[in-house]
Homo-oligomer: A and B are copies of this chain.
Amino acid sequence: METLKIIKIGGNIIDDEKALLSFLSQFSELEGPKLLVHGGGKLATQMAQKMNIPVQMNDGRRITDEANLDIITMVYAGKINKNIIAQLQANNCNAIGFSGADGNTIVSEKRSSQPIDYGFAGDIKQVNTNTLELLLKNNITPVFCAITHDKNGQLLNTNADTIASELAIGFAKNYKTELYYCFEKNGVLEDISDENSVVKNINTKTYQTLIDDGIIADGMLPKLNNCFHAIHNNVAKVCIGKPSMLFSTNTIYTTIQK
């Protein structure tokens, strides 16, 4: 089977124009089929502030009322996604922007309002890769923003890490899928203040030890749960680290194994 790289970038790249341009230039050079998933960064919150629309968060997750869904749709699917596409085209990487509504690629369910009402937040129910595979076979790179739909006309705000892992799982029947989570650190760190303390490999057994020892906590927990969910559903490889893990062989990062 051919290898498909699914790469997720977050706010630390999206919010830094120079870092984004540099990343997109290197991403364009990557050989073989690839797919990009991007988060939203700080721009949506800044937009809401400019428009005097209150932003409510709970436990680091946005409560998406109708006004905030509009902003997210404008910022993620509009400004961020289309500027990424234009830059990739400038680098001769033929790309098409996607939300989960486009091509009916990702169908979600509005999250239950109990115990906490997150508003228009979607939990992924189904991934359809046929159209995406058709494009990949024609050397076209899909670029996903973190928006899905419920197939009844409703757009839904959806976690970008989860979109990346569910896409990787969806492609696993036809590709050897590799999932790369790019973030601001070198990987999972044994000592959060020491960028050199990267835990190079984590498996199901050592994962539990790292949780018990308090090394994996807070924001890293859902991220690693996504990784293990992917690894246990036929994704061949999951890595966490700085984007350089994709482009340079002497980068240290964390690899997740069964």
Give how many copies assemble into the complex. Answer: 2
Q: 9 shortest A-B CB distances, which residue pairs? A: A78-B78, A74-B74, A90-B153, A74-B78, A86-B101, A96-B102, A77-B78, A85-B101, A86-B149
Residues in B neighbouring A98, C-beta threshold 8 A: 96
CA distance A87 to B154 in the complex (A): 8
A156 to chain B, nearest CB (A): 9
B86 touches A77 (CB 8 A): no
A-B contacts, 15 listed (Cβ < 8 Å): A73-B83, A74-B79, A76-B78, A77-B81, A78-B81, A82-B102, A82-B147, A85-B99, A86-B101, A86-B155, A89-B104, A90-B152, A95-B102, A134-B134, A134-B135
Q: Which residue of B lies closest to A107 (CB)?
A: B89
For A50-84 the 0/1 string (1 means CB < 8 A from B) is: 11000000000000000000100111111101110
A131 within 8 A of partner (CB): yes
**Cβ–Cβ < 8 Å partners of A226 in chain B:** none
Q: A85-B149, A96-B131, A131-B138 are in contact. List 4 more A-B contacts (CB 8 A).
A: A73-B78, A78-B78, A86-B155, A134-B138
